[in-house]
């Protein structure tokens, strides 16, 4: 089995620019298609990728390169890079839940199902250290202890930190918003807060100011009395 090289396109860019190797030789070494290497040489592929020297990073020896340049039938053999272990992604270990807390996980699952159904089961399982099967059992009320399960948030139960919970909920909410926007779903009226002026908010009435009665104006507006009326 051939050793898989790091940054194959960047390596191909360097080999195209700095050696006389054929497209087939570069493609074979980098694990690319010969037409892709030709596209790199023509400037149609990987134009913004900076070349990576496979000799400098320990993936190719000078002797291998010299042998390949002398014989276009020769296929270079990659050697394990000394940087491979450093660049290798570190896989997170499964979340460990203390035995004393494991009985609380169904309560936390029920909390997610009731309050945040938009969070995918995979995220809930990863956060709580449980399985999708257990989540399905709680959701369908097929869990052996269904009668005793009560929704309680995982922070209160000590199964997650507030930061972890907030991150999971926010990620799910953002994804749901994007999916809804893509499908043209509009939130129902009342789902978001409206300005007070639109929501019919109570406006404080101005205090009634007691006005002095202007007697002169009152009598001035009264019709004149006839002499007969005076009697």
Secondary structure of 150-190 in HEC code, one letter for each residue: CCCCHHHHCCCCHHHHHHHHHHHHHHHHHHHHHHCCCCCCC
Classify residue 188: in a domain, yes or no: no
Burial class (CB in 10 A: 0-12, 13-18, 19+), 220: exposed
Predicted pLDDT of residue 18: 93
Do 109 and 37 belong to one domain? no
Q: Are 34 and 72 in contact (CB under 8 A)?
A: no
119 and 51 within one domain: no
Q: Examine the pLDDT at 31 and tell me if it is beyond 50.
A: yes
Q: Specify if 19 maps to a domain.
A: yes
The answer to whether position 143 is within a domain reads: yes
2 belongs to a structural domain: no
Q: Are residues 66 and 129 in the same domain?
A: no
Q: Please give, one letter per residue, the 3-state secondary structure of 97-140.
A: CCHHHHCCHHHHHHHHHHHCCCCCHHHHHHHHCCCHHHHHHHHC
Are residues 59 and 117 located together in one domain of the fold? Answer: no
Question: DSSP letter at 145?
Answer: T
> Comparing 105 with 209, which gets the higher pLDDT?
105
Domain count, the chain: 2
Same domain, 179 and 135: yes
Asked if residue 203 belongs to a domain, the reply is: no
Q: Are 3 and 58 in contact (CB under 8 A)?
A: no
Q: Report how far residue 138's alpha carbon sits from residue 146's, in angstroms, rounded to the nearest whole number.
A: 7
What pTM was estimated for this model as a whole? Answer: 0.41
Q: Is residue 194 part of a domain?
A: no
- Among the residue ranges 59-63, 90-94, 143-147, the one predicted with the least confidence is 90-94
> Are residues 78 and 133 both part of a single domain?
no
Same domain, 103 and 179: yes
Q: Is residue 204 part of a domain?
A: no
Residues 109, 173: one domain? yes
Domain that holds residue 149: 99-183
Same domain flag for 103 and 174: yes
Q: Specify the range with the lowest mean pLDDT, choosing from 36-50, 70-84, 135-149.
A: 70-84
* Residue 57 counted as domain residue: yes
Which of 27-41, 61-75, 210-224 has the lowest average pLDDT? 210-224
Confidence of residue 187 (pLDDT cuts 50, 70, 90): low
| Residues 15, 79 share a domain | yes
Determine which of 15-24, 148-157, 198-207 has the lowest per-residue pLDDT on average: 198-207
Nearest to 28 by CA among 41, 15, 42: 15
Residues 103 and 69 reside in one and the same domain:
no
Convert 60-99 to b/e letters by CB count within 10 Å (16 or more is b).
Answer: beeebbeebeeeeebebebeebeeeeeeeeeeeeeeeeee
Residues 57 and 132 in one domain: no
Phi, psi for 103 (deg, rounded to 5): -70, -15
Structure tokens at 140: 């369908």
pLDDT in the model for residue 176: 86
């Amino acid at each position: 089995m051939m050793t898989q090289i790091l940054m194959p396109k960047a390596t191909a860019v360097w080999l195209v620019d700095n050696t006389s190797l054929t497209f087939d030789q570069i493609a074979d070494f980098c694990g690319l298609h010969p037409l892709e290497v030709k596209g790199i040489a023509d400037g149609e592929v990987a134009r913004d990728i900076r070349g990576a020297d496979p000799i400098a990073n320990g993936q190719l020896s000078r002797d291998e390169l010299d042998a390949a340049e002398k014989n276009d039938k020769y296929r270079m053999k990659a050697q394990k890079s000394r940087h491979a272990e450093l660049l290798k992604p570190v896989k997170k270990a499964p979340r460990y839940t203390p035995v004393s807390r494991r009985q609380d996980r169904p309560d936390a699952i029920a909390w997610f199902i009731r309050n945040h159904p938009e969070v995918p089961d995979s995220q809930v399982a990863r956060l709580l250290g449980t399985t999708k099967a257990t989540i399905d059992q709680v959701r369908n009320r097929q869990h052996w202890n269904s009668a005793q399960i009560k929704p309680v948030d995982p922070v209160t139960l000590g199964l997650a930190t507030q930061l972890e919970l907030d991150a999971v909920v926010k990620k799910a909410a953002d994804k749901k918003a994007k999916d809804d926007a893509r499908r043209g779903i509009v939130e129902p009226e009342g789902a978001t807060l409206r300005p007070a002026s639109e929501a019919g908010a109570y406006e404080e009435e101005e205090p009634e100011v007691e006005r002095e009665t202007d007697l002169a104006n009152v009598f001035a507006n009264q019709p004149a009395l006839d002499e007969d009326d005076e009697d």
